Amino acid sequence: MICDAKSIKYVASTLLQGKPVTHGFLTRVGGVSKDSYASLNFDARDTDTTENVEKNRALFHEAFNVPAGKLVTVSQVHGKEIFAIEGGLPEKPIEADAIVTNQTGVAIGMMTADCQPVLLFDPVNRAIGAVHAGWKGSALGIVVETVLEMHRLYGTNPEELMASTGPCIGPCCYKVGWNVLDEYMARHKEADCFTEKDGLRMDINLANTIQLALFGLKKENISNDAVCTACNSDLFFSYRKDNGRTGRQLSFIMLNNGTNG
Ligand SMILES: [Zn+2]
C-alpha cells in the first residue's frame, strides 16, 4: 500500500500498520537529488552530493517524526554480519547487513536498489530488526541469522515474530548466472526461488520468505510488499534498470515510545 508522509511516498506493510512501531519502505519520490539520483536518495557513495543526501535525511526525519541523530544505518557489504545496538549509537556506520535493537525511539534502516529490505518486529519482547538481503544475503541466509540473533539477545520466538518483505527486483526482471544457483544451493535445500525461463531467474522475495517460513514464522506473520523495483523504476531506484548508476531508497523500522504506539 503506497502512502504519503509530507512529500515522501512510501510503502506501508499491512502487517505492521497499527503496531507500536513506525516503519516504511520508502520510494524514490519526494527528495531533492537530481538526474540518476532523483530524488529521495540516501547514499552518497556514488556521485550524488553529501548535501543532497543530508537534505533527504532531514526530510525523512521530519516526515516520520524521527528525532535528529536517531536513524542508524550501516555500511552494507552483502555479508551476514548483524549489528546489535546496545547502549549508545555508533558515530560512524559499521560494516553489517542487518541491525537489531530493543531500544525505543531509534530508527534502524537499510538502503537498497533491487536487493530486498526485510523488517522484523517481535511484539512480545519488543524488539526489531532490519535486514538487507540481495541474492548474496539470501544465499548466506541472513534473514534467518538475524532471527537467531534476536532470539539470542531478546528471547525472540520465531512463532511470534512478524516479518515484512519489501520492494526488490522480481523474477520478471532478475536474470542471474548459474553461479548464483550454485552458491545458493551450497546452503539451502529448497531451489523453488529459481526458475528457468529465457535464462535462469531468481525470486529473492520467495527465497527470503521460504527461509523465514522454514525457520518457524507463521504464514500470517509474513507480509509481502515485494513489488518489482525494475518494473516500477519511476517509483523505486533499480540498479539493473538504471544500469548501475542510481540512488538507494531507505526502508526503516522504529519501536515507538510508550505501549500503544
Ligand atoms: Zn520486474
Determine the 3-state secondary structure of 201 from DSSP. strand
Confidence of residue 260 (pLDDT cuts 50, 70, 90): very low
Average pLDDT, whole number, for the chain? 96
- Residues facing 120 on adjacent strands: 129, 163
CA of 235 to the centre of ligand 1 (A): 13
CA of 229 to the centre of ligand 1 (A): 7
Report the distance separating Cα 19 and Cα 21, nearest Å: 5
CA of 59 to the centre of ligand 1 (A): 29
CA of 241 to the centre of ligand 1 (A): 9
Determine the 3-state secondary structure of 232 from DSSP. coil
CA of 231 to the centre of ligand 1 (A): 4
DSSP state letters, 78-138: SS--EEEE-SSPPSSPPB-SEEEE--BT-EEEEEESSSEEEEEEETTTTEEEEEEESHHHH
| pLDDT over 90, % of the chain | 95
Class of the CATH-defined domain 2-255: alpha beta
Model pTM score: 0.98
CA of 227 to the centre of ligand 1 (A): 8
CA of 233 to the centre of ligand 1 (A): 9
Question: Residue 261 has what pLDDT?
Answer: 44
CA of 228 to the centre of ligand 1 (A): 5
All three cell numbers of 171, joined, read 523474477
CA of 116 to the centre of ligand 1 (A): 13
Cβ count within 10 A of residue 18: 8
CA of 232 to the centre of ligand 1 (A): 7
Q: Which residue has 554480519 as its cell numbers? A: 81
Please provide residue 205's backbone torsions phi and psi, each rounded to the nearest 5 degrees: -60, -45
**pLDDT higher than 80, residue 75:** yes
For ligand 1, a single-atom ion, the residues with CB < 5 A are 170, 172-173, 228, 230-231
Q: ω before 39 within 30° of 0 (cis)?
A: yes
CA of 153 to the centre of ligand 1 (A): 37
CA of 169 to the centre of ligand 1 (A): 6
Q: What would the pLDDT profile of 123-159 be if each residue is shown by its tens digit?
A: 999 999 999 999 999 999 999 999 999 999 999 999 9
CA of 230 to the centre of ligand 1 (A): 5
Question: Residue 190 has what pLDDT?
Answer: 87
Contacts of the segment 50-57: beta carbons below 8 A, 24+ positions apart: 55/31, 56/31, 56/32
Q: Is the dihedral of CA 62, 68, 70, 73 positive or negative?
A: positive
Q: Are 232 and 226 contacting, i.e. CB atoms less than 8 angstroms apart?
A: no
Q: What would the pLDDT profile of 41-59 be if each residue is shown by its tens digit?
A: 999 887 899 999 999 999 9
